[in-house]
Amino acid sequence: MQYPMILLALTGTLVLAGCDSPALISLEPAAIADQEAGFDANLAGAWQAREGGDLCVIRHGDGNAYTVTYLSDGSSRKFDALLFQAGQASLLDLSPQDSDDFQTPGHAWIRIWTTNGSLRWTFLDSEWLRQQAAQELPNRARDNSRILLTAPSTSLRSFLAKYAADDRSHGEVEDWQRLQ
């Protein structure tokens, strides 16, 4: 399973200058720790992007949860993450730890692949997937390219099981390597 890639992807997107948050966000998690989340000890550790030098540190949190710290250009961001299976895809449900009374933490999903000390990840937020979500799930359009999903967790899991393994559901896949 590839938790680190998903975590790195979301964190990287949020932290890097000029980058924005993912285009498909949910108010509810797709995975609930006590019920659907799995754990893969191989995800824990430090990971470095093969291009660009960004770092991601993944630690075991409470139960099956992970905490992810993403470091890029001298800035850091922390996330909570849960690993779960959606059909044929391994996904990470990622939510920022930082929030205040004027922010509602959202959930984004990252598809991950792990093999032999490497990690590959990508956000599930392609234009094609956003169109499917807009047609099938309760939502609020945030602007011309972003959707905020308001569906319950069970509906999100069904939606992701149907679409997450389809290559049209994501953009470019990024490669990460484990640091020794």
User: Cα dist. 49→17, 76, 175, 177 in Å?
Assistant: 16, 15, 6, 6
DSSP 42-74: GG-EEEEETTT--EEEEEE-STTEEEEEEEETT
Closest C-alpha to 32, from 155, 165, 160, 154: 154
Residues 36-93: tens digit of each pLDDT = 888 887 888 899 998 888 999 999 988 889 999 999 988 999 999 999 999 999 999 9
Say if CB 172 and CB 1 are below 8 A apart: no
Q: Which residues does 19 contact at the CB level (< 8 Å), separation at least 6?
A: 12, 13
| pTM flag (> 0.85) | no
Closest C-alpha to 94, from 121, 55, 127, 132: 121
At 16, is the secondary structure helix, strand, or coil? coil
Closest C-alpha to 30, from 115, 111, 98, 109: 109
Residues 149-168: tens digit of each pLDDT = 999 999 999 999 999 999 99
**Domain residue ranges in the chain:** 3-178
Rg of the chain over Cα atoms, rounded to whole angstroms, equals 15
Q: What is residue 11's predicted lDDT score, i.e. its pLDDT?
A: 37
- Whose tokens are 């949860």? That residue is 65
Say if CB 140 and CB 148 are below 8 A apart: yes
User: What backbone phi and psi angles, to 5 degrees, belong to 28?
Assistant: -105, 150
At 112, is the secondary structure helix, strand, or coil? strand
DSSP 124: B
> In whole numbers, what is the pLDDT of the chain averaged over residues?
84
